[in-house]
Structure 1
Amino acid sequence: MIKFILKKIGKLAGLLFAISLLSFTLISYSPVDPVRSYVGAEVSKISPEQRKNIEDYWGLNQSKPEQFMLWGKALLQGNLGNSLIYREPVSEIISNRFSASIALMGIAWVLSGILGFLLGVFAGMNEGSFIDRFIKSFSFILASTPSFWFGLLLLMVFAAWLGWFPVGLAAPAGSITSEVGFFDKMKHLVLPVLTLSIGGVASIALHTRSKLIEVLNSEFIRFARAKGESGTRLLWRHGLRNISLPAISLHFASFGELFGGAVLTEQVFSYPGLGQAVVKAGLGADIPLLLGITLFSVIFIFIGNFLADLLYVVIDPRMKTKASHG
């Protein structure tokens, strides 16, 4: 297990370096002027001397390799730098914003996994029936629906027309976060969670259905049926472990899609999370913030894949033998 963890950490270190170098190269050659993003609308009023002082302060007057080396040195010391747009340390921005995003992504991830798995099981157990055709068609429609379009549709119907839910934000406008009640926060999360979870529901449902049908047509299931087992008992004793392992693998591998979907969802609902900060940083060429969030997202996705590897062993002990010989 220690060897396995060390190998994973080594892969993560190499991945972080490659992503850092690639991201820095792409962002640093962006046509957006960082000084304009820092100063704002008053950039035309600053003198050449003031502009030079700003470039000196942020290190923009140095060559690209020197900027990357300075940033990397500060990163190794635990300093992600300061954001040009928010005028705050990048680590604080990520910490504050992630606390809002984790609630959105966490609920959406759990909901899509449970609902998708149940729909897949119902469809697979009733192959060829009306329930199977309905779930399969419903999943295909969800999979082909853009999340931002679905979010706008939910806003128009349930927020604008019916008025059941707020239009956006994470709390009522003008309120203090510490004074907002739990149910008010949940009310603001309903539409964003539904929007973010649609893609996961479809993929899990279709994958689970396909795998369950394959398992139910296998020889050992036919032998179990010949011994008199059927229905829920057959699924619980013989099919559940075989379909849960691929479902968990697919669901944990969707951390990247979840993070990417949160960017669009938070923009549609003006939700103050990491996704909204990414968009602002990209439009403003905020290199420290973009690099910080990029590295954080890589670690976030890596943790999801790592947890999936650990759960493999818990669900299927045969993976221990394969790992020891690998």
Structure 2
Amino acid sequence: MPLLQGLRLSRNPICNLPESIKNLSALMELDLQRCTKLQALPELPMSLLGMTIYGCKSLERVTNLPNLLNSLMLSTYGCVKLVEVEGMFRLESIDKIDSETMDNLGLSQLESMDCLDMKLLSNLTFTKRKVRELQVLYECGIYSIFLPGNAVPSWFNNKSTGSLISFHVPWLPNLKTWGLKICICYAVALDFKKATWMNGCIIVSNKTKGKKWTYRPAFIGIAEEGKDILWLSDWKSGNQLMERGDEVTVSVNMEEYYQVKEFGIRIGCNEQENEREDGTQHGNGIDLSVYQMREGQYFLCNHEDFVRSSCYSRIAAGSRLDLVETCLCGFQCEKHAKQWY
């Protein structure tokens, strides 16, 4: 079926698709809506322009999402178990990561949390999931972890009770690349009942080089009344972020549902990182140039292009985002923040 352009398998009790689907070089539309037994997707053809996996409640892993950041129209609402899109993001239990990553996130200095009780919200599928053990998110060369806590740990030596920290990168000899560790303590906003949407992003601006990176994670910890959350993140970005002597600001935007109680940063060196002269690739092999929105501005967000562009514009303008998604198959779903919590 080399000329097949559309494939509709909605409400089909399939558990997987054949590997040969990648050979359908003319396929542009794939409808898997409410295939509730589907657990994983193999490599998909690069010709794909529209796909709906709405309501695939057993789907955990996707091999690839071709053209996600430019032309793919995608509906993922209701995929409550989706934890990985290869090459884009991965959410996994803390017992699957190495000790070096644990140390970089400062987890070895925290008390044991064997009986965790919190929820994560997926910004991609607009679903929430209960977690009983710590989960580590990796995407865009950034490790993130969310856990209960009401204060930034002491090893973050630059702290603020506001939402912005400015600093100059130290002039230290023999250090080629830099990394950045960030910790945010946030709580439910006092007027959270009036909130119409929830945003959670970190913005790193290099004033010297005129570049800015805005990071919106695929998952975020859900704070509740009386239950604050710590967001620990380790940016393995090397010279893409900063060099010695650069003026840098780090800011946090948690509007409208949350408020920042405190946040801190710690600058570290990555002596073993690989370098590229254009500054687009860090030591973990992630090319962040694909996330460029305009000259010198990058939006590190793994969402389909329409929603991603709309979200970035609203964040930049400081106004609310109407979370309405329309996919190529005609599916439309309004996602109101109040029903997530």
TM-score exceeds 0.5? no
Q: TM-score w.r.t. structure 2 length?
A: 0.22
Q: Of the two structures, which has the highest relative contact order with CA contacts closer than 8 Å and spacing of 6 or more?
A: 1
Higher normalized strand content (fraction of residues):
2
Q: TM-score w.r.t. structure 1 length?
A: 0.23
